[in-house]
Amino acid sequence: MSPRSACIITLGCPRNEVDSEAFAGVLRQAGWKRVSDPGRAGLLLLNTCAFIGPAVEESLEALDEAMEWKRSGDGRILVLAGCLPGRFGDDGSGGLEEIDLIIGPGDSEGLAGFLGTDAASGVRARLGRRFDRYLKIADGCLNRCSFCVLPAIRGPFRPARRNTILADADSLAESGAREIGIVGQDLLAWKDGACGPADLVSELAARHPDIWFRLYYLHPGRFDGSVIEAMRNHRNIAPYIDLSVQHASDRILTRMNRGYGRSRLEDIAGMISHSGIETACRLTVIAGYPGETDSDFDELCSFLSGFPSLRSLVVFQYWHEEGSPEYARGDADLIDPSLAAERVCRLDSMAEEAAESWGERLAGRTTRVLAETTRRGRTWFDAPLVDGEAVFSDPVKPGKFYDVLVGECRGLSTQVSVPPGN
pLDDT, mean of residues 323-342: 94
Superfamily the domain 5-121 falls into: Methylthiotransferase, N-terminal domain (3.40.50.12160)
For position 95, what pLDDT does the model report? Answer: 56
**Per mean pLDDT, which of 11-20, 324-333, 383-392 is the most reliable?**
324-333
Domain ranges of the chain: 5-121, 132-360, 366-417
Mean pLDDT to the nearest integer, 243-260? 97
Q: What is the pLDDT of residue 92?
A: 45
CB 220 within 8 A of CB 244: yes
Mean pLDDT value across residues 291-315: 95
Question: For 220, which DSSP code?
Answer: G
Q: For 76-101, what is the mean pLDDT?
A: 78
**Is residue 212 over pLDDT 90?**
yes
The pTM of the full predicted model, rounded to 2 decimals, is 0.88
pLDDT over 60 (residue 122): no
Average pLDDT of the residues in 46-62: 90
The type of residue at 14 is: P
**Does the pLDDT of residue 361 top 90, yes or no?**
no
User: How do beta strands 43-48 and 5-10 pair?
Assistant: parallel
Percent of the chain with pLDDT over 70: 94
Mean pLDDT of 232-253: 96
pLDDT of 121 > 60? The answer is: no
CATH topology of domain 132-360: pyruvate-formate lyase- activating enzyme (3.80.30)
Mean pLDDT of 373-389: 87
What pLDDT does residue 2 have? Answer: 58
Name the CATH superfamily housing domain 366-417.
Nucleic acid-binding proteins (2.40.50.140)
> What is the average pLDDT value for the chain, to the nearest integer?
89
Look at residue 93 and tell me whether its pLDDT is greater than 50: no
d(C-alpha 386, C-alpha 402), whole Å: 21
Q: What is the largest CA-CA distance in the chain?
A: 65
Q: Stretch 190-211: mean pLDDT, rounded?
A: 96
Packing angle, helices 337-362 and 294-305, rounded to 10: 10
